[in-house]
Structure 1
Amino acid sequence: MAGDLAEQISQKTSGLIQSSNHRDLLDVVDSLRPHGISHYVDLPQIIVCGSQSSGKSSTLESLSGIAFPVAEGPCTRFATELILRRGNKLETRVHIQPGVGRSEEDRRRLSAFSRTSDQKDFPKIIRAAKTAMGLAGDGAKVYSTDVLRIESTSPTAPNLMLVDLPGLFGASDKDQSDDDAALVQKLVTDYMHQKRSIILAVVTADNPIANQPVTKFARDIDPTGVRTLGLITKPDKVERGSDSEKYYVELAQNQNMKLNFGWHVLRNKGHATMDDTAEERDAREAAFFEDSVWNTLDASQLGVKALRARLRRILWKQIQQGLPAVKSDVQSGIKDCNQKLAQLGTARSTRKEKHAYLQRISSRLSVLVRAAIDGVYSDLFFESYPRQQDAFERRLRANVQNILTNYAEEMRVDGHALEIVEGYERPRRTNRFKYATRKEYLKEVKTLMVECRGRELPGTFNPLVVGDLFSRQCKPWESITQKLVERIHEAALNTFNKVLSELCDQNTRSRLMKGLVRPSLHRLRQDLKDKVDEFLKPHLTVHPITYNDWLVRNVQDIQEERHDRNFDSLSQQLCGATVATASESEEVNLKFLLEGLRDETTPDVEEYSSSLAADVAAAYYQVALKKFIDDVSVNAIETCLIQRLPDVLAAEPPLDRLPPSVNRLEVGPQNSATTDNRKITNRSSSRMSHFAFCSDDAETNGLDDRKPRSARSKRALEKKAPKNVENPKTVLFLRGTSCSQIVQDALTDLYELRRPLSKKFTKKNEIHPFESAASLEFFSEKNDCSMLCFGSSSKKRPHTLTIVRTFDHKTLDMLELHLDPESFRRISQFKTRKFAIGLRPMMVFSGTAFESPVNNEYTMFKSMFIDMFKGEVSDKIDVEGLQYIVSVSADEPTGDDAKPTIRLRLYLITTKRSGQRLPRVEVEEMGPRMDFRVGRMNEPEEAAWKEAMRKPKSTEEKTKKNVSTDLLGDKMGRIHLGRQDLGELQTRKMKGLKRNQDLDGGADHEVAETAKRQKR
């Protein structure tokens, strides 16, 4: 039966799961795939690859319990994927996934291939699959790109995938061509390139390793070996004591070809033992390893049981790597689900439920809108990056303030209809409004004065002239203010839209916006327009009225400014400079100057009165403009609109008089759809919460439950275990294949500064950090270093240091620094006393570049160098313990695009006697001296940075209950006890409370004596 095969597979593969935490976590990850989490954590897969007849299928049979085809020569003609899933039923289904290049007809035919299998029928299904793929019969092709997928489900199966691949070969023969070899190679390497693949590279001991290309492919595709485990098969086929056996033993010891996960040895079934059961096979394997040279290896490297243990640790590690990202995504998903549930609200099919729902929305909306117009952004609703448009639309007060500021500036610049300039001046904006010279303008004023002449004396003017000049000048006020009204209305509308999006679902929001919010805001906008027209009407129709003494001052300022300009113009004509800039030695023609001033003050009655009228009109315009801007901002915008916004939904009409669009909030078909939406969202939220619980439980109980075998390994595991207080960071210094001597010297000096919390590699490494940081992550994990400093030099980027910071041995951020070779000085070049190893420096950063509120190269440099020199946290500091200073300064930014240079200096601190209570402190430069120019940088991802900055809850200060302090400072503690029955207290060990014979009247004693006599 299909269930028998599924049960057998489950029993064989259950050992690949490490613990119940591991199993539960993988189950929840698998259940979250329909909710969009699968792009972070995929099903892990183990691919078994190697040369032909190297024992791949036998290895897979040992791991899974399925009897894959085994024979001499090519027996695996296509990829076989064994997909193991957790489920309530015991079943095994087999189907074919068509390969690339298949026609549409072939794809339909192969997709229709489906079988349910048990252990006996499995060989028949393999033969049927070969026939369906076209691999059977005369003239058939040898290999196929189609994939045979075996999906096995059982309650105890792990969620993973095992892949059996065709064997690699080089030389062609009558059955296999060169094209077949290229097809197999591409098929194998494509699986190797998949990041979720754990490569089980199989080599056979009876064949020289040079003839087995799988190791070359593994090194090329996985150069750091973080996904590769080597497997040596057929150790019983090699002659005992031969050089070949010695070579493969050394290979298993990870000497000849080093892999991160090392090597494993497995004895396969032979032709004579093909029918052995799994127990018999394991017994033969154990007996062989006990009586051979292979017993010199560690027991964890021998046999199929140990192989399952090693694979389960590798599988769990792969899940760990994706866990921080998926946890962050799950937390965001939980938040979104809760927000969506809050928006959907409770069921509201009755009129009473509708009204209660509207009241809740109205109350919350009033609170949020009030906070938005008051500028109090402490609510979670306003939490977002301030520069984002969405957050800006939520913060109504900030939006209104910016709109009014722009309105005031526009009124000052573009509020006048005519710009008046002197004859030698150029207008500011000829395309925005008309302009005229002062002489031309005064001619128009004279014409207006003639038309408005009344009883005024010569040299004076009719007050109506000022009114006419002002009304002509302030005509643009109306259009500019109407645009202001529309902008404020749009800002309020956007804020209401954002608030309702937070409080209810999209359907309810659209109905409320259409039925209540938009009509209410439309009425408020009309009231605002009426108020603006009320303020604007006096300026356009009524004669000027003001009692502001600034009017006279403005007239005087205008006239004095014009006289100063005329005087400067005359002095410029006389001596080529103004009076303020002319030197004392320059001669001035006083006669010419006096004649020019006399010409300016020549009495012309009409010109004088027109000039005075123009000056009074300009002065009144300035006074009226300021008053109008304040009236519109305060008495119109603020009073008629902004302060009335919180009551938009507070005074809604009764439910029976609501608009139809609002009254139909949830009726008919919409009700069932919303109910289904609530159920789906609740289910998603519960699954995500379960995942968060499983992942937290896995972290609490340890992601790796290996028990240490010695005190040394125990200390190593405890050192790597998570801690509440972060350890000082260990820095790894290494260099690339091309590295100048200057960079090497800089790495050595920085290494000496950081000792003993530093490590340094002397060999070259082929690493390009900004292209691939996989090698750096591998070195970080292997050496337990959370910071790396990589030195390189090239023609394009000479003398480069790249600082890399990791979190959980994954790249967090990195910064590229270019060292100036001219100013660089080593420590040895300074003839001063050196610092002691292990002491902590005092760090000083100077320069505005390091204090930028925006994250950039300089703030990252500051953060990285603080982390580099940071030690354990100390409560108190003795100033005499500060032995040296690390000074980092940056030049002040200039106007050009050049980035400021960073200068690193180190100074030795010495204290000497001063004859006073405080010693004399002297500093002396001790080196190294480095100047850097910043280059490329990689900023941290938001989810990784948030996880790196997360503080454990155990470090938070707990509230003390039942403890109080009186006025004298004495602590008082309360202990709450239940009712105490002294008769039921256990007193058998308290001699002082034992009952006395005299108190009980000797009754108990008599009973005891009677019992003793009966026993005798």
Structure 2
Amino acid sequence: MNERKQPGLANQTLLNKIDKLRELNVGSIELPQLVVVGDQSSGKSSVLESLTGFSFPQAPGLCTRYATQISCRRDSERSVSVSIIPCPGTDAAVADRQRSFTRTLTDLTNEHLVKIIGDANCAMGIKMTPDHADPNLTAFSQHILKIEMNGPEQEHFTVIDVPGIFRVPSPPLTTESDVALVRNMVESYMQNSRTIILAVLPSNVDISTQEILQMAERADPDGLRTMGVLTKPDLVTEKATRDVVKDLIAGKRNKLRLGYSIVKNRSADDQNSGVSERLAQETTFFSKSVWKETANTGRCGIGSLKTRLSDLLLTITKREFPNVKSDIVRRLEQCRGELVGIGPSRTELSSQRVYLGQLGSKFQKITQSALNGYYYGEKVFEQDTTLRLITNITKMNEAFANEVWKKGHKRHMSALADDGGETSYELAKHDTTLETIEERKCKYLELQDIVEEEDYRCSEAKPCDEDPIASHIEQIYQDNRGPELGTFNGSILAIAFKEQSEKWEPLVLAHVSRSITAVHHYISSILAHICPDRRVLDQLWDTLLTDKLQTAYKRAMDQARFVLSIERDGMPSTYNHYFNSEVQTKRLDRLTKEMEKISVTCYTDSYSKESKIQAVPFNSIKSLVEDKDNMQQIREDILDVLASYYKVARKRFVDTICRQVIGHFLLDGKESPLRVFSTELVNGLDDEVLEAIAGEDEETRQRRKRLEAEVKSLEEAVKLLRG
């Protein structure tokens, strides 16, 4: 016997927990439930009365202005309790006042219920009659009236009744906005994926045209959780209509997986019969020959309907209970996170300074991780890879170095063909999530006058045969030569180098612009991440950060232009020993190529392959010099020096841009934009600026209250679920 009872007790405990969760105002969590929906005058109240044994009062304006949760519980003592469950988001004071509304009786007559529900309407601010002139009263409410009935004859059963939808208002009691409000209320219950929709429909109407079914289909397109309940079969007089009803009950002509059931309402003039009498009348009605075949389907009568609904409620509750627990824990973590983001109450200047100081400290902590490449432990780096700052900047620097090497020279120099073993960086696959300069300029208008107008796309230098550099160098020499004999002055090299490096300026300015937009995107995103309060974030940008960041970005762009000026506008200069080595190497390479042209094959020992060598006749060496005119010699010397100096200057220049302009002025320097927002900056703010940025407005205070209330409810829900 005990083994058979245990599952029933466990099921009752499970259903009780779901009802308690609803009382705890965890409205953001979808709960398993049965919801009865239908048009006004569809027989919905009669169905509920038969299901619960609860007699709805007949006074007008009662029990139809809000959702009503009716719970039946088996208990040795008979009792009825009525209370109000405030809707989520209700002001704390109003919610406390509504929760204080409770009525408990041992027995409930219609007269008692009329009085209790009238009191509940007043507590919810419901306009009960057209002559109520108080503008604060409403015709409908989002709160829930809970009626719990206990008794030895009761079985565990909970159902929610929502107001019947209507299309025509009845001023001044209801208005057009009330029509929409009720429809939205009904739809919100139906949209809950854990709701069994009990759609009540009169049998004597065309089912296919019923709007309540269309609403149910929108909420439950596959018909997996909608059950149709047909009422008023005694009003069906035509055989064709009766056949349609029978087909629906038999599972034909419908898309509802849960099918249809049919019940007989008590007649409109029957106000005195009890529940048992009405059940007997229903049994008699369906035993008639015209309905007898349908009665055998097990879908006729309130008894079979109640059994099916009890099983459905228990099934969906068991299935969804683990998901409900997960949703509650997840929502609790989310609310706690939002509360942390809002921070403590900030009515005092000291609390405002602490709040901003904590934001500054958190920003610097995350930024230090971003600069060191320590992304583990910070979820923001997993959620958005464009915020992995040092990784992205390093990739950009490598791409910049490659582009300057491969495309940065205006003309190809044959002397550059030997790269001395130099190789380009192996670039990672392009991150398509990174925005272009143009995209980020549109996103961040504060960069408009700082970064370049557009990304610079560097083109390849023309092939040597299309634009021979030797002829060009000769022209430069002829146009700028002085009285030197057998040599050239320094201005010729300066002119040739400046022209050869003219692509450096757009390449550098585009690279620094891209780096600035990447840094700015990082700062903006991290601040939004650590400061979810939009008003504080906007004030932080507008009042404190924008001007300072713009100054830091301009400083970086100015430094880039300064480095460009030093490299390209002054006289070429270097103290790098590599320069002289490069010049000598290129001269040797040139001489070697010429000697290869006049070399002959010699054998040092009996014409063996092992003794075969290439040798240059001594007399032929003189021709390498004597046959070369002065212009050719100078042209070759200029080209060797230019190629050697360009290579040395390019490497120096790329390192300077990446280390000074990007590394120091944008990332690591004391005046870097990444160091602008810090605790030191916050500590130096005067009281007026501090209040303007971190002062708390009424909306934030209310949001904190709502979150605190929700956290409290969710914490109680977690305790309930673990109990």
TM-score by length of 1: 0.42
Aligned to 1:754: none
| In 1, Cα distance between equivalents of 2:229 and 2:675 | 69
SS in 2 for 1:652: helix
| In 1, Cα distance between equivalents of 2:514 and 2:593 | 39
Map 1:372-387 → 2, pairs under 5 A: 372-385=370-383
CA drift of 1:487 comes to 2.8
In 2 relative to 1, CA 551–21 (structure 1 residues): closer, same or farther, beyond 3 Å? same
CA drift of 1:617 comes to 1.5
Map 1:523-922 → 2, pairs under 5 A: 523-529=551-557, 531-533=559-561, 535-536=563-564, 537-545=566-574, 546-548=576-578, 551-552=582-583, 555=586, 603-644=628-669, 645=672, 647-650=675-678, 652=680, 655=683, 658=686, 661-662=689-690, 664-667=692-695, 670-690=696-716, 697=721
CA drift of 1:375 comes to 1.0
Which residue, 534, 537, 547 being the options, matches 1:509? 537
In 2 relative to 1, CA 326–67 (structure 1 residues): closer, same or farther, beyond 3 Å? closer
Aligned to 1:397: 390
Deviations 1:707-754 (A, max 9, x none): xxxxxxxxxxxxxxxxxxxxxxxxxxxxxxxxxxxxxxxxxxxxxxxx
Aligned to 1:63: 51
Aligned to 2:515: 488
Deviations 1:769-801 (A, max 9, x none): xxxxxxxxxxxxxxxxxxxxxxxxxxxxxxxxx
| In 2, Cα distance between equivalents of 1:25 and 1:442 | 87
CA drift of 1:628 comes to 1.4
SS in 2 for 1:363: helix
Contact 1:81 1:150 (C-alpha < 8 Å) held by counterparts: no
| In 2, Cα distance between equivalents of 1:226 and 1:561 | 90
Contact 1:45 1:198 (C-alpha < 8 Å) held by counterparts: no
| In 1, Cα distance between equivalents of 2:268 and 2:477 | 124
Larger displacement relative to structure 2 (371-380 or 354-363): 354-363
Aligned to 1:750: none
CA drift of 1:518 comes to 3.6
Structure 2 residues without counterparts, runs of 5 or longer: 1-10, 58-63, 70-82, 85-100, 103-115, 122-136, 142-162, 171-180, 187-194, 287-291, 416-456, 599-622
Deviations 1:799-840 (A, max 9, x none): xxxxxxxxxxxxxxxxxxxxxxxxxxxxxxxxxxxxxxxxxx
2:386 counterpart of 1:415: no
2:201 counterpart of 1:165: yes
SS in 2 for 1:347: coil
How big is the alpha-carbon RMSD for the aligned residues of Structure 1 and Structure 2? Answer: 5.8
In 2 relative to 1, CA 431–359 (structure 1 residues): closer, same or farther, beyond 3 Å? closer
In 2 relative to 1, CA 563–305 (structure 1 residues): closer, same or farther, beyond 3 Å? farther
Which residue, 10, 19, 22 being the options, matches 2:15? 19
CA drift of 1:535 comes to 3.9
Contact 1:470 1:621 (C-alpha < 8 Å) held by counterparts: yes
| In 2, Cα distance between equivalents of 1:217 and 1:558 | 97
| In 1, Cα distance between equivalents of 2:714 and 2:408 | 59
SS in 2 for 1:212: helix
| In 2, Cα distance between equivalents of 1:543 and 1:383 | 44
Residue correspondences, number: 523
Counterpart residue identity of residue 84, structure 1: T
| In 1, Cα distance between equivalents of 2:588 and 2:65 | 91
Contact 1:61 1:67 (C-alpha < 8 Å) held by counterparts: yes
Aligned to 2:335: 337
Contact 2:366 2:378 (C-alpha < 8 Å) held by counterparts: no
In 2 relative to 1, CA 621–321 (structure 1 residues): closer, same or farther, beyond 3 Å? farther
Contact 1:44 1:197 (C-alpha < 8 Å) held by counterparts: no
| In 1, Cα distance between equivalents of 2:707 and 2:268 | 57
Where relative contact order (Cα < 8 A, 6+ residues apart) is larger, the structure is: 2
Map 1:214-293 → 2, pairs under 5 A: 214=245, 216-217=247-248, 219=251, 223=255, 226-228=257-259, 230-231=261-262, 275-281=272-278
SS in 2 for 1:372: helix
CA drift of 1:330 comes to 5.4
In 2 relative to 1, CA 457–147 (structure 1 residues): closer, same or farther, beyond 3 Å? closer
CA drift of 1:470 comes to 1.4
Contact 1:84 1:160 (C-alpha < 8 Å) held by counterparts: no
CA drift of 1:626 comes to 2.0
SS in 2 for 1:91: helix
Aligned to 1:200: 229
Deviations 1:88-136 (A, max 9, x none): 4642799xxxxxxxxxxxxxxxx99999xxxxxxxxxx9xx99999xxx
In 2 relative to 1, CA 674–523 (structure 1 residues): closer, same or farther, beyond 3 Å? same
| In 2, Cα distance between equivalents of 1:149 and 1:630 | 64
CA drift of 1:374 comes to 0.8
SS in 1 for 2:341: helix
CA drift of 1:382 comes to 2.2
CA drift of 1:624 comes to 2.0
| In 1, Cα distance between equivalents of 2:274 and 2:535 | 64
Aligned to 1:45: 35
CA drift of 1:401 comes to 1.8
Contact 2:328 2:714 (C-alpha < 8 Å) held by counterparts: yes
Contact 2:36 2:198 (C-alpha < 8 Å) held by counterparts: yes
In 2 relative to 1, CA 228–384 (structure 1 residues): closer, same or farther, beyond 3 Å? farther
Aligned to 1:444: 472
CA drift of 1:303 comes to 7.3
CA drift of 1:654 comes to 7.6
Structure 1 residues without counterparts, runs of 5 or longer: 1-14, 70-79, 95-110, 116-125, 134-145, 152-158, 170-180, 234-267, 386-390, 423-428, 568-597, 702-1016
**More helix as a share of residues:** 2
Contact 1:200 1:229 (C-alpha < 8 Å) held by counterparts: yes
Contact 1:83 1:162 (C-alpha < 8 Å) held by counterparts: no
Percent identity among equivalent residues? 19
SS in 2 for 1:199: strand
Contact 1:60 1:164 (C-alpha < 8 Å) held by counterparts: no
